Amino acid sequence: MARPLRIEYPGAWYHVCNRGASRNPIFLGQADKQRFYSLLAEIHSLFGVETHAYCLLSDQYHLLIHTPQAELSRAMRHLNGLYTQRFNRMHQRDGALFRGRYRAILVDPARYIAPLTRYIHLQPVAQNHVTEPLQCKDSSYAAYIGKQNPPSWLMTRSILSLFGQQHAQEKYQEFVDRGIDDDLLTFYSKGRIPPFLGDAGFRQTLQEKWQGASDEQEISGATFLQHRPSIEQILHATAQHFKVAIEDLQRSVRGQHNFPRVIAMLLCRKHFGHRLTDIASGVTGTSYSGVSACIKRFETVSMQAKDWTSDITAIRAALN
């Protein structure tokens, strides 16, 4: 069976969701949920991904996200991958946490972003976890109706602005009280959910833009990146940021951690999609397997000692 379609372009909106393997829990307590929230903050800082609505249930999550920079794949790899590592480490387990790849449904923002927030906020009720959406403490609904302050990474203004300048929160609450649209219920009840949520015009626009891509194809997000800096440019920007020579990034010293060098590798691979073999050639003194192992060690160990998010964000900004 073909893998689900992935179309990425600047400004796209997605309903992203995933659940635990064999419907097992992915959140065993509030500490797990806080780790997940921290990662939502990270993908906003690192990739510019905006979370506009969320709901966390014990065995699944739902997000409405906006990707100004066409960074869906890298952001979700960061979110799901690091959350799995941290969950396994905390609960002394190993192996896959999620049932498979996340589902990302490309959404027509002109028609469906407000109804989708309602769908997400009503999932705890629909799945009989609570009797009304405000009882769920791990969704963005309370922030939307003014019952709590939204975290810095949650964007509510875009949706609330659709309900007018005055009493938008009260109008949104009334909107949610009316229940999920019939067309959304029909869409999500299908055995195989399509990768697009939109009318025929929205689908036609996408197919024309990418020359008739079908549902059975997977389109790499890298195809649609408008700009990808070269490995040389990434090394130069990293060296400038850390005030070191480029030669220092291309040299490994046994027994010592060269974190600027690893940051450069991480940017090349995880943020801009360069091949491991090309990174190994550009960052001399290692093999492609060495690059992969170095990045994995950094993600699982080094991030605990120091938060490098601001460094990565600054280098990306310089490259842009």
Per DSSP, the residues of the chain read -PPPP----TTEEEEEEEEBGGG--S--SHHHHHHHHHHHHHHHHHH-PEEEEEEEETTEEEEEEEETTS-HHHHHHHHHHHHHHHHHHHHT--S--BSSSPEEEEE-HHHHHHHHHHHHHTHHHHTTS-SSGGG-SSBSHHHHTTSSPPPTTB--HHHHGGG-SSSHHHHHHHHHHT---HHHHHHHTSSS--SEES-HHHHHHHHHHTTS--TT----GGGG-S----HHHHHHHHHHHHT--HHHHT---TTS--HHHHHHHHIIIIIT---HHHHHHHS-S--HHHHHHHHHHIIIIIHHH---HHHHHHHHHHH-
Q: What is the pLDDT of residues 202-218, one digit of tens each?
A: 877 777 656 544 443 44
- How many CB atoms lie under 10 A from the CB of residue 106? 22
pLDDT at 217: 41
Task: Please tell me the distance from the alpha carbon of residue 86 to that of residue 26, in angstroms, as a whole number.
Answer: 11
- The answer to whether the beta carbons of residues 134 and 147 sit under 8 Å apart is yes
Sheet strands side by side (includes 12-19)? 50-57, 60-67, 12-19, 103-107, 196-197
The residue whose two tokens read 């070269």 is 230
What CATH class does 231-319 carry?
mainly alpha
Task: Please tell me the distance from the alpha carbon of residue 15 to that of residue 42, in angstroms, as a whole number.
Answer: 19
Task: Please tell me the distance from the alpha carbon of residue 34 to that of residue 56, in angstroms, as a whole number.
Answer: 11
Task: Please tell me the distance from the alpha carbon of residue 4 to that of residue 22, in angstroms, as a whole number.
Answer: 20
Distance of CA 47 to the CA centre of its chain: 8
Domain 12-224 identical in fold to domain 231-319: no
Task: Please tell me the distance from the alpha carbon of residue 194 to that of residue 161, in angstroms, as a whole number.
Answer: 28
Domain ranges of the chain: 12-224, 231-319
Which tokens hold the place of 252?
A: 């490994």
12-224 carries CATH number 3.30.70.1290? yes
Q: What residues have CB less than 8 Å from 111, skipping those under 6 apart?
A: 198, 199, 202
pLDDT at 216: 38
What is the pTM (predicted TM-score) of this model?
0.68
pLDDT at 208: 67
Spell out the per-residue pLDDT of the chain, length 320, in tens.
Answer: 445 557 888 889 999 999 999 889 999 999 999 999 999 999 999 999 999 999 999 999 999 999 998 889 999 999 999 999 999 999 999 889 999 889 999 999 989 999 999 999 999 999 999 999 999 999 999 999 999 999 999 999 999 999 988 899 999 999 999 999 999 999 999 878 888 898 878 877 777 656 544 443 444 433 334 457 888 899 999 999 999 988 888 777 665 678 888 888 888 877 777 777 888 888 766 777 788 788 777 766 554 556 677 888 888 888 87
Which tokens hold the place of 241?
A: 């940021």
Q: What residues have CB less than 8 Å from 119, skipping those under 6 apart?
A: 15, 180, 181, 184, 188
- The answer to whether the beta carbons of residues 118 and 180 sit under 8 Å apart is yes
pLDDT at 227: 54
